[in-house]
């Protein structure tokens, strides 16, 4: 499956990709003294419960860059809510990365890394006015795949998104 990175690991900048133009906008800098613990982006042609494309967390050896398309495999899902409602985050690894070969679920991910990611989402909006987060923890690959399937179904059931340009993310080249 494909993810599009908006924010590289280690950044405090919150970027957004404009679905109509493909332009990458600096939305804001994080108000807290913390950085994104993974590359952060979305799955094209999905619609999450908050009305945005479904969020993807990409574990990669090196940070990528905003707009980078990556083939990924899902390992699990982090459940949380923010001021807009449910906001699931699907944890993925770069498909074909030998460092993650044989890791098919959360039990192959270091517990401390999962704790770091959870901690980030507990605090990253703390100093922003009128922003909140509530976290509920991790579930494995099967629930993550279900979240992705439901987000794709919601997108397909919303033809207005196709007209609004949210289907413009090109498919990756064949490997």
Classify residue 174 by its DSSP letter.
P
- The C-alpha atoms of residue 133 and residue 93 are separated, in whole angstroms, by 25
For residue 39, indicate whether it is catalytic: no
Smallest CA-to-CA distance from 78 within 11, 152, 135, 145 is with 135
Q: Are 94 and 100 in contact (CB under 8 A)?
A: yes
- The C-alpha atoms of residue 131 and residue 151 are separated, in whole angstroms, by 24
What CA dihedral angle connects 173, 38, 97 and 146, to 10 degrees? -70
Catalytic residue among 39, 87, 101, 167: 87
- The C-alpha atoms of residue 65 and residue 4 are separated, in whole angstroms, by 9
Smallest CA-to-CA distance from 67 within 19, 100, 11 is with 19
| Residues forming the active site | 87
């Amino acid at each position: 499956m494909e993810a599009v990175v908006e924010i590289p690991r280690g950044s405090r900048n919150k970027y957004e990709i404009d679905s109509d133009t493909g332009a990458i906008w600096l939305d804001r800098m994080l108000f807290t003294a913390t950085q994104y613990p993974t590359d952060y982006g979305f799955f094209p042609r999905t619609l999450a419960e908050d009305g945005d494309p479904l969020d993807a967390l990409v574990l990669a050896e090196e940070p990528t860059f905003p707009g980078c398309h990556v083939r990924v495999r899902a390992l699990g899902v982090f459940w949380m809510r923010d001021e807009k409602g449910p906001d699931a985050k699907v944890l993925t690894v770069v498909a074909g990365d030998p460092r993650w070969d044989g890791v098919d679920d959360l039990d192959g991910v270091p517990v401390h890394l999962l704790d770091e990611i959870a901690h980030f989402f507990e605090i990253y909006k703390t100093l922003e006015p009128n922003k909140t987060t509530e976290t509920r923890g991790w579930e494995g690959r099967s629930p993550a795949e279900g979240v992705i399937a439901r987000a794709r179904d919601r997108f397909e059931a919303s033809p207005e998104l196709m007209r609004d340009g949210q289907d413009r993310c090109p498919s990756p080249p064949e490997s």
